Amino acid sequence: MKARTEDNMRLAHVLVQAIPQAEVFTLGTRLTRVTPPLRLKRREQALLVASHLVSDWDGGTRIGEALQAFLAVPRFSTYARGASVLVISDGLERGDHQALRDAVWKLSLRAWRLSWLTPLATGPGFKPQTAALQAIAPFVDDIVPGGSDEAIVAHLLSLAPRRAA
């Protein structure tokens, strides 16, 4: 995921600029809300300020613990209520898979839709191979490719309501 961090943050900046209700968090060894700096108009400035907030770019991921922290803060957990939640992660969990499973289950109860976008998903016939992805599979609406901007944007567009012609 480290190789995609900058691209994902640039895309997050575009989304926050375009969608006033969008919220962005990083999940590393801890949870970090980066929405406020991403609201800055100039991308370079926004990414620089956001990078100073995140202290664990290279610390591995404890996704379950970070999601549990998200759910434990009432202000944050209300962001998920009725929302389309996207988690962009390879699912290579360093923490307890049970903690991840429990957090994803609780998050799925709040969200309208919960999508897990992973660079490990390389096509429509993808089957989760990691223990973490297998643990969360019953609780997410989809596990789809997330290894490129094109794949992420395609998924976002698939969530848009269809308009009658």
- Average pLDDT value for residue range 79-86: 95
Average pLDDT over residues 30-58: 90
List, in order of start, the domains of the chain with CATH numbers.
2-158 (3.40.50)
Q: Distance (Å, rounded) from C-alpha 41 to C-alpha 101? A: 36
Q: Does residue 11 register a pLDDT over 90?
A: yes
What gap in Å lies between CA 63 and CA 159, rounded to an integer?
Answer: 24
Report the distance separating Cα 66 and Cα 46, nearest Å.
23
Name 121's Cβ contacts closer than 8 Å, sequence gap at least 6. Answer: 143, 144, 145, 146, 147
- Residue 165: pLDDT over 70: no
